[in-house]
Amino acid sequence: MATLNFTKGQGTGNDFVLFTDPDGEIELTPQQVAAICDRRFGVGADGVIRAVRSRSLDDGAAALAEDPDAEWFMDYHNADGSLSEMCGNGIRVYAEYLSAEGLVDFEPGDTLPIGTRSGVRDVQRNMAGYQVDMGRWALDGGEPLVRAKELDVARPGLGINVGNPHIVVALAEEAELDRVDLNYIPVIEPHPEDGANVEFVVPAEPLVKDGVGSIRMRVHERGSGETLSCGTGAVAAALAIRHYAGRSAPHQWRVTVPGGTVVVRMFPTEDGEHVSLSGPAELVYTGALELA
């Protein structure tokens, strides 16, 4: 049996098991990832993040071609062992981990490029945590119907891609949001070929205060189930509600999830509109695990 030295981290309740493998020598199987993430028989997490140098794996080659300074790659697996393109909370925790482990020199105000399967993401450290430039986003095709347990009828969703696929469903009131049973996988019609995260969102009352929009969200993450937070989901939710609200809608949003609050901001760049995600990141404990 091999020993895996790991660190547990979380960002607004979205929790991860992280470990260092700079040369890409440790290849966990999907079954091992699922066992680690099991909350009764394993460590318990929404996903596993391997800290690996971009040069040490095939997916990292594209990151280095995009930005030669993207030394480190976030190799992220969902709780069921499947690969994920991007994780907005996970990349903040990953940045904190790289800094704490002495793998990068990352002071407040610095920006760190990190490779992901969605491309390079720039992470900036500040006094409140981390801000991630999530890059460009896109509407992702139509308004599929979403069925969920304890919702009386199917609701239209808005497809948004922020490096990974999301379907955002706007609900009318807090009681509906509280009632949705996300122990069951929402049914999307038509079903996306690669699946999608599903966010259920209720706008605050008032929606906008002092130029900042506010929404509340719950999420069922593809491959992980309901989580206390989803960074890319918060971004998708804010983008969807801004889209529905129209031209007068603000470009900064507070998104409240069961695990806390994150801030989403939309801003123009030379290659189109980008969106950023800001929030805390915390390392909780370290340990060693015997792998079967």
Catalytically active residues, by annotation: 87, 230
Dihedral sign, CA of 153, 196, 6, 35?
positive
Burial 36-62 (b: 16+ CB within 10 A, else e): bbeeeebbebbbbbbbbbbbebeebeb
Q: Determine if residue 234 is left, alpha or beta; phi over 0 gives left, psi from -120 to 50 gives alpha, anything else beta.
A: alpha
CA 158 – CA 141 distance, rounded (Å):
8
Structure tokens at 108: 């407040």
Q: Which DSSP string do the residues of 130-161 spell out, in sequence order? A: EEEEEEE-EE-SS--EEE-BT-SS-EE-EEEE
C-beta neighbour count of 170 within 10 angstroms: 18
Cα gap 284→45, rounded to integer Å: 12
Amino acid at 274: H
CA 120/CA 98 separation, integer angstroms: 16
